[in-house]
Structure 1
Amino acid sequence: MTAAHIATLTLTAKPGSAAITEAVTRSALEALSAVSATGHWLSRGDAWEASFELADAGLASGLRTAAADALAAASIDINLLTEASGPRRKRLLCADMESTIIEQELIDEIAKLAGRHDEIAAITTAAMQGKLDFASSLVRRVALFEGLAVERLDAILERATLMPGAETLVHTMRTNGARTALISGGFTLFAERIGARLGFDHVVANVLEIENGRLTGRVREPILGPQGKADALARLAREHGLALSETIAVGDGANDLTMLASAGLGVAFRAKPILRDAAQASPTGAVVTHGDLTALLYLQGYADADVRRALGQRAALSPPA
């Protein structure tokens, strides 16, 4: 007798949008009528899930398509995950930094300071879309920064803004015993301070060479590219005694492809088409376009009560202002 597979359809939307209505959840359940799904709210109006059994895990893709077709007009992210993605609540979060944990691409901000914005932005875009090899494109871009005073980079960090939901994601997972890692194809000069601000346990990024307070135009080897990011995830999982199925990775560009594919759950967040399509096609992938980073909590089965509890504990531990 073939064992049944547990599957979960998760709907998420922009927090506060109330895009997920009772009518939306009814339509989702109707799309899943063949598998007798039962649904419940994770965050009323913003996140809802339905669980059901599948005789064949291969049926999941068709059911997700049916739900997507039924809800096509709504600004909602629709993801369906099975046991292939491992345990719901992950014990290691590995996150890209730029355009994921923060809203900016900081290498483009450096380019503005250097007066080479258009030239460097074109290289960055091609690399993120997978049209250029990441390592060589990074070397080309960094070479154009030669002579730039490091002290001028502080202004870039001061202007950097966190992606909505970033603090909630990191603190909720840490409060529930997970480890967190910022794994960036950017630079330690920024990543270490962003990581410290949010309380990441680990920071892995590229190192800019500096001499006499100025950038040399070189980046230290080895360059952290797609395979390097996946290797960092695997190494951290081993160090913490975790299986890869217990990890979740999130990113937005081609440089994150291998890391997301290696994780138990790989989330393409407001992603470039190459990453979004890969995650959509993967049985262990998810796509978040409309929601913010709290959607990663809902994909793991966290509910509002869990988030409030985690943030309450954080506030209790914080020193008074």
Structure 2
Amino acid sequence: MKDIFTIEIKNDDIHLASYLANIVSSEHNTKAYSHTLTVIGQAITPYLLKGVLDKLINVFSPVSAAFHHLHQQMGDDAIEIRGQVINAKPEQIKSLLGDVSDAYNLDVGLQTSRPSLSEPGLLVMDMDSTVIAIECIDEIAKLAGVGEQVAEVTARAMRGEIAFNDSLTHRVACLEGVPIDHLNQIRDSIPIMPGIQTLLKHLKANNWKLAIASGGFTFFADHLKARLGLDYAISNTLSVKDGHLTGKVEGEIINADVKARTVKALSEKWQIPSRQTVAMGDGANDLVMMAESALGVACHGKPLVNEKADVAVRVGSLHSLLYFLDK
């Protein structure tokens, strides 16, 4: 990994190497840091990086800086800045990071420790609006003519305003009588999120286990497990009779607690240390499994999830998760 001080990068505002050399004293012990600030984006300039650090100047003191080891391999710029957090509470920092992301259209994350890409690990992913770009239940509801009614309940559940079990039971009841052919139509045209294939490819190459834990439905989760080559998938089973949905869910509802149990159970099954576990999602229903994991990643998440997750991908594709991993 090249030292960023030795790389000549210029623009009309400031020379990046000179700027960093000015703010990072050569007398510092580069190993004396408590946090790693990761900055990810397209064509990051010295001006943008200076803006990031200026916004964080009261809470973060840089010690050293370098390009992430995957820098530009996937078409992004990714910079790691190591340093110390000064006189700041976690909630204050999370708010500042959100402001930085909005101001410069970059992804930024501040971590005390990071799972290692080169060691076997476990990634457990939400499905709807995370691995795929839709909420399947909302799409079924549209075809059934109750789209607006169901979508509103979905949105409230993802924001954490109503209990997930209650919201799921209510929404599925609205689907009574929907023919299975409707589900086939949605499954065949399902939009997979940009960056997921790159993310999974790199993790598989480093012997990571990959799983979906979803409050959605087996009809779609099992399809994605096979299509993406995942190791495991758990989701809700829709009751079917005579080729039509009955409006009920069979068995235990896969809620936030079940998702968290899944992370723990799979890590034990595959003998993966807890420090090598990652959970990724977008809704309030994913926060418990994020808390169970060493690294919780919000992906284009609801405001509450961005605030509570360890790091948030607000701008980039799903492969941006890789930049929050160590070597």
Tell me what 1:152 maps to: 182
| CA displacement, residues 257-282 of structure 1 (integer Å, 9 cap, x when unaligned) | 10111111101111111211112xxx
Is structure 2 residue 277 aligned with structure 1 residue 247?
yes
Tell me what 2:49 maps to: 25
Letter of the 1:23 counterpart: Y
Letter of the 1:12 counterpart: I
Letter of the 2:65 counterpart: T
Is structure 2 residue 40 aligned with structure 1 residue 9?
no
Tell me what 1:227 maps to: 257
Is structure 2 residue 69 aligned with structure 1 residue 39?
no
Letter of the 1:269 counterpart: C
Quote the Cα distance in structure 2 between the aligned partners of 1:66 and 1:125: 26
| CA displacement, residues 33-71 of structure 1 (integer Å, 9 cap, x when unaligned) | 8442222254347232224354x7976957787777777
Quote the Cα distance in structure 1 between the aligned partners of 2:190 and 2:61: 47
Residues 143/39 of structure 1: CA separation in 2 closer, same or farther (3 Å cut): same
Quote the Cα distance in structure 2 between the aligned partners of 1:274 and 1:67: 14
Match of 1:286 among 289, 295, 311: 311
Match of 1:48 among 56, 59, 78: 78
Is structure 2 residue 217 aligned with structure 1 residue 187?
yes
Is structure 2 residue 301 aligned with structure 1 residue 274?
no
The more displaced of 64-73 and 214-223 is 64-73
Quote the Cα distance in structure 2 between the aligned partners of 1:60 and 1:91: 29
| CA displacement, residues 244-298 of structure 1 (integer Å, 9 cap, x when unaligned) | 221111100111010111111101111111211112xxxxx00111111011011
Task: Identify unmatched segments of 5+ residues in structure 2.
Answer: 1-30
| CA displacement, residues 289-320 of structure 1 (integer Å, 9 cap, x when unaligned) | 11110110111146xxxxxxxxxxxxxxxxxx
Match of 1:128 among 137, 158, 164: 158
Quote the Cα distance in structure 1 between the aligned partners of 2:136 and 2:193: 14
Tell me what 1:210 maps to: 240
Aligned to 2:318, the other structure's residue is in SS state coil
Kindly state the Cα deviation for residue 150 of structure 1 after the two structures are TM-superposed: 1.0
Letter of the 2:112 counterpart: T
Aligned to 2:103, the other structure's residue is in SS state coil
Asked if the contact 2:61–2:83 (Cα under 8 Å) also holds between the matched residues in 1, the reply is: no
Quote the Cα distance in structure 1 between the aligned partners of 2:273 and 2:88: 26
Kindly state the Cα deviation for residue 87 of structure 1 after the two structures are TM-superposed: 4.3
| Higher Rg of the two aligned structures | 2
- Give the % identical residues: 35
- TM-score, normalisation: structure 2: 0.80
Quote the Cα distance in structure 1 between the aligned partners of 2:262 and 2:300: 23
Asked if the contact 2:97–2:109 (Cα under 8 Å) also holds between the matched residues in 1, the reply is: no
Aligned to 2:278, the other structure's residue is in SS state strand
- Superposed CA RMSD: 2.7
Tell me what 2:226 maps to: 196
| CA displacement, residues 121-149 of structure 1 (integer Å, 9 cap, x when unaligned) | 11111111111110111111111111221
Task: Identify unmatched segments of 5+ residues in structure 1.
Answer: 280-284, 303-321
Asked if the contact 1:60–1:80 (Cα under 8 Å) also holds between the matched residues in 2, the reply is: no
Residues 67/93 of structure 1: CA separation in 2 closer, same or farther (3 Å cut): closer
Residues 225/12 of structure 1: CA separation in 2 closer, same or farther (3 Å cut): same
Tell me what 2:8 maps to: none
Asked if the contact 2:159–2:284 (Cα under 8 Å) also holds between the matched residues in 1, the reply is: yes
Is structure 2 residue 205 aligned with structure 1 residue 175?
yes
Aligned to 2:175, the other structure's residue is in SS state coil
Tell me what 1:305 maps to: none
